[in-house]
Amino acid sequence: MSQVVTETQDRVLTIRFNRPEKKNALTQAMYSGAAQALKSAQADSAVRCVLLAGHPDSFCAGNDVMDFLNAPISGTENPVGQFMDALSKIEKPVIAAISGVAVGIGVTMLLHCDLVYAGEQTRLHMPFVSLGICPEFASTYILPRLMGHARAFELLFTGPFDAAKAREYGLVNALAPNAEVEAIARKHALAIAKLPPKATRVTKSLLKRWRADVVAEAIPLEAQHFVPMLREPEALEALQAFAQKRQPDFARFA
């Protein structure tokens, strides 16, 4: 079964992460599949809106660490970069329905969606620093401008947070019971899909125009740090500790 499933209905393209046994942790193949789906949506006049979804207990648990350690990414044309480029540049509205868990890029991708609806029991986490790496997907630019430096720092440095805090900090538009959140997000997607398509695209492009150049600069700049940091001692200690089910020890690092 495909780990990225797509379906178009009533002008709404649903892109579903479909690896529930791993809580939708993303492999490079899944990034490629999602990137291609977004590019196809951009080119298809029958698609007016995109809905990103997972499963009731897991939207996206971040990257599959072993997949990335076994095949390290490099360059700008890697699957992760293609996905980031496609999501950050798509002209059509993108709505996310999240529930269960959203970790790492499962959170930062929300910064590039136009509407985000979250299940009330959703837990979110951006554990980049604790894993010995830096944030990605232009989050170091967007987060402080969305919620202020102190709140952005809090979310990046102090561990998991709940859906209510995500709503309070402006990361999420509205909350709903986990079992209902996708249906609510789809209702909004269907309403947007009925709007005049050119007016919708132009309005979105104007809303994003004033940050587009900086986002395009921030994504590769963060990657220049992120990719090599994955292979440095701090990250290796964090990942080994995770695999060994122990607390990491960073005391020896300067």
Contact at 8 Å (CB) between 86 and 69? no
Task: In whole angstroms, give the CA distance from residue 236 to residue 70.
Answer: 13
The chain-wide mean pLDDT, for the chain, equals 95
Total number of residues shown for the chain:
254
Q: Among candidates 238, 226, 234, 237, which has minimal Cα distance to 254?
A: 234
Q: Which domains does the chain have, with CATH numbers?
A: 4-176 (3.90.226.10)
Query: Any idea of the CA torsion for 72, 74, 77, 80, to the nearest 10 degrees?
Result: 50
Residues 11-36 have a mean pLDDT of 97
Provide the edge-to-edge strand list for the sheet that holds 101-103: 101-103, 123-125, 161-162
Provide the whole-model pTM: 0.96
Give tens-digit pLDDT for 204-213: 999 999 999 9
Contact at 8 Å (CB) between 39 and 86? yes
* Residue 89 CA, distance from chain mean position: 14
pLDDT at 75: 59
Contact at 8 Å (CB) between 143 and 111? yes
Give tens-digit pLDDT for 215-253: 999 999 999 999 899 889 999 999 889 878 899 999 999
Residues 189-199 have a mean pLDDT of 98
Task: In whole angstroms, give the CA distance from residue 125 to residue 100.
Answer: 12
Give tens-digit pLDDT for 138-186: 999 999 999 999 999 999 999 999 999 999 999 999 999 999 999 999 9
Amino acid symbol at 81: G
Give tens-digit pLDDT for 43-76: 999 999 999 999 999 999 999 988 877 777 765 6
Residues 78-98 have a mean pLDDT of 97
User: Percent of the chain beyond pLDDT 70?
Assistant: 99
For 216, phi and psi rounded to 5 degrees?
A: -65, -30
